[in-house]
Structure 1
Amino acid sequence: MDAILAGMPLWLIVTAVGITLFAGFVKGAVGFAFPMIVLSGLGSFLPAETALAILILPTVVTNVFQAFRQGLGAALVVVRRYWLFLLIMVAFLVSSAQLVAIIPESVLLVLVGVPMVLFAILQLSRWTLNLRPGTRTRDELLIGGFAGFIGGMSGSWGPPTVLYLTAIGAEKSEAMRAQGVIYGIGAVALLAAHLQSGVLNAATIPLSAAALVPALAGMALGLRVHDRMPQSTFRRAMLVVLLFAGLNLVRRGLML
């Protein structure tokens, strides 16, 4: 940890704290995008592996807090309601991870990012995609499978999840809990994987633990905004963040 910080001027450390604080705020307000903001921001001046290591513990803790904010009972209700989405997502995530060497990541990121951007723009322009309760099983199989497929390949399964929750008109508290549960499962898997890979090690674990402070402080501020936010404003805010998340996927794909 000291070796990493020793080469960083004070303004870079302050910038890193500010980025993590902002990512926590967005996470608290709309429920997602924490890893994307931290990885994009810190990755602009830190090695990608270091930026990835820093975000892991805050990602796990913020998602656990988000999932259980209304208590264990409320979280279990979400698990029971979205069990099929979760099951198919995890199955596709595990299997598609094996295809990383076959499909170029740059192609995948663009193919995923462009539909996300188009969906967000159409929804923001008042066109609506409303999924009917009668097709729920089919929709969860298709969108959950898609989320898992691109998650295993790119490490980003948030945008399709938000697309689904927006399209079914999930109430904001339920949407927040569902995102916490869905992302939390992936975050725990990410933690285990990178303890084994060496990305999380004696030098980076303290940095990741230190990042918990600005991440949780930002999330607390974001949750205060979320609690005062009308449902219509919450939906629009999710779409705006989804738009930028999609644009970021396209940017990453074009730059690889």
Structure 2
Amino acid sequence: MPMNELTPLLLLPLASIFFVAGFAKGVTGMGLPTVAMGLLGTLMPPAAAAALLLIPSFVTNVWQLLAGPSLRSIVKRLWPMMLGIVVGTVAGSAWLVSVDPIWSSFSLGAALIVYAAYALFSPPLGVSPRKEPWLSPLVGLFTGGITGATGVFVMPAVPYLQSLRLHKDELVQALGLSFTVSTVALMVGLTAHDAFRLGQLGWSSLAILPSLAGMWLGQKVRARISAKTFRLCFLLFLLLLGVKLASRPFL
């Protein structure tokens, strides 16, 4: 379903999806595009879903980026990775808009399965400072390619940033930087391939309020429940959603 074919009847389910995605981000510091793409992928082709999440994703990520204490040092350290993300995303977006939606849904589902399985079962990794200069742009390029092809920003950027042993607040801010750059690069890529137009900003902007409301509630809930328990439920949900999307071509 192209963005210009969205109808008012979809407003409630779309608002609910972005509220849930914002809630996940509020609790975990990430997950809005991942959850939104997964759920939107059950209603529309991934290219349309990616275009719809651009504005709420950008707004929430900028909020997360600017709220931290170390913006200048993080940008100075991670700019090679960000450059790789831009190049990979713009190039990979051609795949997202040109491939049969069933197979792009399969790719999205596979990305969700890989991420959830990694987060559930893999041991923590560590990257030595001397490997960063060549590993950061490589990770950025791979992350950008996956982002461009699926609309999901997390792999392998999230485990890589976790492996840098950043302070908790620095990690949240670094994730915000990575997601913000990915969002802008995806917008450029979709626009270049005629999958996103300025006239579609209205639909995407409507998702800002439920996303921010969910994010606010998630931040409140984060202080009251076990982060470990929520993380487990969140990852199991993504795993099941990934299986559902990845199985589409075979049903």
Fold similarity call, TM over 0.5: yes
2:213 corresponding residue in structure 1 = 217
Greater CA drift, 62-71 or 238-247: 238-247
- Where does 1:53-72 land on structure 2 (aligned, <5 Å)? 53-70=51-68
- Letter of the 1:190 counterpart: L
Alpha-carbon distance in structure 1 between the residues aligned to 2:93 and 2:213 = 33
Q: For 1:144 and 1:49, how far apart are their aligned partners in 2?
A: 21
**In the alignment, which residue of structure 2 is the partner of 1:122?**
121
Instruction: Return 5+ residue gaps in structure 1 as ranges.
Output: none
Range 240-249 or range 138-147, more displaced: 240-249
Deviation at 1:80, TM superposition (A): 1.1
What amino acid is the match of 1:132?
A: S
2:6 and 2:87 map into 1 onto residues whose CA distance is 37
**1:252 maps to amino acid:** L
Whole-Å separation in 2 of the counterparts to 1:50 and 1:111: 19
Equivalent-residue separation in structure 1 for 2:247 and 2:51 (angstroms) = 24
Instruction: Indicate how the Cα distance of structure 1 residues 235 and 87 shifts in structure 2: closer, same or farther if over 3 A, else same.
Output: farther
Q: Secondary structure at the match of 1:158?
A: coil
Letter in 1 for 2:121: L
1:20-31 maps to which residues of 2 (within 5 A)?
A: 20-31=18-29
Instruction: Using the aligned pairs only, state the percent identity.
Output: 28
Residues 1:154 and 2:150 are matched in the alignment: yes
Q: 1:186 aligns to what?
A: 182
2:71 alignment partner, one of 71, 75, 83: 75
> How far 1:135 sits from its partner (Å)?
3.2
**Which residue of structure 2 aligns with residue 199 of structure 1?**
196
Structure 1 residues 252 and 213: CA distance shift in structure 2, 3 A? same
Structure 2 segments unaligned to the other structure (5+ residues): none
8 A contact 1:63–1:183 mirrored in 2: yes
CA distance in 2, matches of 1:48, 1:194: 11
User: Within the alignment, does 1:172 sit opposite 2:168 as a pair?
Assistant: yes
Are the aligned partners of 1:162 and 1:238 in contact in 2 as well (CA < 8 Å)? no
Question: Following the alignment from structure 2 to structure 1, what is the Cα–Cα distance between the partners of residues 110 and 37?
Answer: 20
Distance verdict in 2 for CA 1:166–1:94, change over 3 Å: same
Larger radius of gyration: 1
Amino acid at match of 1:129: L
User: For 1:254 and 1:2, how far apart are their aligned partners in 2?
Assistant: 27
Q: By how many angstroms is 1:246 displaced? A: 5.8
CA distance in 2, matches of 1:88, 1:246: 27
